[in-house]
């Protein structure tokens, strides 16, 4: 087990290094000139030279890469070309926003996945219809689901759920930035409930795609284990079908589902970027699309690096967890 963890950690470091190298290289080959973006088209030659020095672009490229890595490790991602402020400062309020949304979306993914899978795997019932639902939901872009849910819950149901932003009240002073948690910490049910209401629609829109993918894997696993000898034994011992499903089939199907969930986290990141835009959610995603609009590559690189690192680390954790549960994984 220790050997497995050590190997996994080693490859984690290698992947993170190459991820950083790739993002850095992309910044160097990007077709816009960072100095020009920084100082503007009409700046004097001296201003350009000063900016080049300020951004550290007068150093040789290996030195630049070294300071890029050193900065990234300490959470310093340089200066935004458009706002001229440190990128880390701008991201500090946005990271909790995205993490909060991602956490809720992940929870909803599991809820959607497990409930759809239990419906689907009952033999005979809903079979063809559920297949249609699966494929429709898996083919719907997340912004379509986001827009439709806004039309239904905000427009037609007359503002039943809010359609934009994170809160009707604004943040507390000296808070964690996770609004639901902040509401609980400050003992305000109104604030907490308001934050939850704001979370529901965007989290749902981001969760549908991965929820359906999860349901398919779970349903496959469940239907094969429901036909297995030990399921028959459980039935013969007088267990009800629901108990066989919950206690035996679902548990057996959960190991492949867990590794799928880690992969889905990567897809969820991309739907979060899209969904944040629809709901004017002030997170990393809307920051990223803003940076794309103005060609601010250092900001783009910072967001990609953070999201990428989260994804790679998450995958490592899941691998280790799977190996802890299932000894066969360690040997493969």
Partner 1 sequence: MLYSPKRTLKRLERPTPDRPDGAWSALGVGEKLSLVAVAVTVLVALVGPALMPYSAIIPSGEQLLPPLSPGHVLGTDVLGMDMATRLVAGMQRSLFAAVVVTLISAAIGTLIGVVAGFKGGWLDSALMRFTDLFLAFPAMIIAMAIAAAIGQSLGSAMVGIIVVWWPLYARLVRGEVRRAAALPHVQAARVAGVGGWKLLWRHVVPAVTPTVVVTASLDIGAVVMTLAALSFIGLGTPAPAPELGRMASDGMKYFLNAWWVAVLPSLAIGLLAFVFNYAGDALRVMLRRTGV
Which parts of this chain interact with partner 1 (CB under 8 A)? 11, 14-15, 18-19, 22-23, 26-27, 29-32, 128, 131-132, 135-136, 138-144, 147-148, 150-151, 154-155, 266-267, 269-271, 273-274, 277-278, 285, 288-289, 292-293, 297, 300-301, 304, 307-308, 311-312, 315
Using CA atoms, how far residue 24 sits from 13, 186, 300, in Å, is 16, 42, 11
When the beta carbons of 113 and 308 are compared against partner 1, the nearer one is 308
Separation CA 311–CA 142 (nearest Å): 19
d(CA 325, CA 137): 32
The minimum distance between CB 109 and partner 1, in angstroms, equals: 16
Can you tell me the distance from the alpha carbon of 170 to that of 155, in angstroms, rounded to the nearest whole number?
23
Which lies closer to partner 1 via its Cβ, residue 30 or residue 99? 30
- Are the CB atoms for 279 and 146 separated by under 8 Å? yes
Classify 179 as helix, strand or coil.
Answer: helix
When the beta carbons of 108 and 272 are compared against partner 1, the nearer one is 272
Of 26 and 73, CB closest to partner 1: 26
Query: What distances in angstroms separate CA 183 from CA 100, 195, 204, one per listed residue?
Result: 13, 8, 21
Least distance (Å) between residue 289 CB and partner 1: 4
CB of 123 to partner 1, least distance (A): 11
Nearer to partner 1, 126 or 132 (CB): 132
Q: Which two tokens stand for residue 106?
A: 């992940």
Query: Least CB distance from residue 146 to partner 1, whole Å?
Result: 9
Q: How far apart are CA 56 and CA 51, in angstroms?
A: 8
Shortest Å distance, C-beta 18 to partner 1: 6
């Amino acid at each position: 087990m220790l050997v497995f963890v050590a190997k996994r950690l080693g490859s984690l470091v290698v992947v993170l290094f190459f991820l950083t190298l790739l993002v850095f290289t992309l910044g160097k080959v990007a077709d816009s000139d960072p100095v020009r973006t920084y100082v503007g088209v009409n700046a004097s030659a001296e201003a350009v030279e000063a900016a080049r020095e300020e951004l550290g672009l007068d150093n040789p490229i290996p030195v630049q890469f070294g300071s890029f890595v050193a900065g990234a490790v300490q959470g310093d991602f340089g200066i935004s070309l458009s706002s001229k402020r440190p990128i880390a400062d701008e991201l500090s309020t946005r990271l909790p926003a995205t993490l909060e949304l991602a956490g809720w979306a992940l929870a909803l993914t599991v809820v959607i996945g497990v409930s759809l899978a239990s419906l689907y795997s009952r033999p005979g019932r809903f079979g063809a219809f559920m297949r249609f639902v699966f494929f429709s939901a898996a083919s719907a872009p997340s912004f379509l689901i986001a827009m439709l849910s806004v039309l239904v819950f905000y427009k037609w149901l007359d503002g039943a759920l809010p359609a934009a932003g994170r809160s009707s009240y604004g943040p507390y002073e000296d808070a964690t930035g996770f609004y639901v948690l902040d509401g609980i910490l400050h003992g305000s049910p109104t604030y907490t409930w308001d934050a939850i209401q704001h979370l529901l629609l965007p989290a749902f829109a981001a969760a549908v795609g991965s929820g359906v993918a999860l349901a398919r894997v779970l349903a496959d696993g469940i239907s094969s284990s429901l036909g297995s000898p030990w399921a028959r034994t459980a039935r013969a011992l007088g267990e009800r079908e629901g108990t066989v499903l919950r206690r035996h089939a679902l548990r057996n199907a959960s190991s492949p589902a867990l590794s799928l969930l880690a992969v889905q986290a990567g897809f969820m990141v991309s739907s979060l970027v899209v969904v944040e835009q629809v709901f004017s959610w002030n997170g990393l995603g809307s920051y990223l699309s803003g940076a794309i609009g103005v060609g601010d590559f250092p900001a783009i690189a910072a967001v990609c690096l953070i999201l990428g690192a989260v994804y790679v680390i998450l995958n490592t954790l899941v691998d280790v967890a799977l190996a802890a549960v299932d000894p066969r994984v360690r040997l493969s």
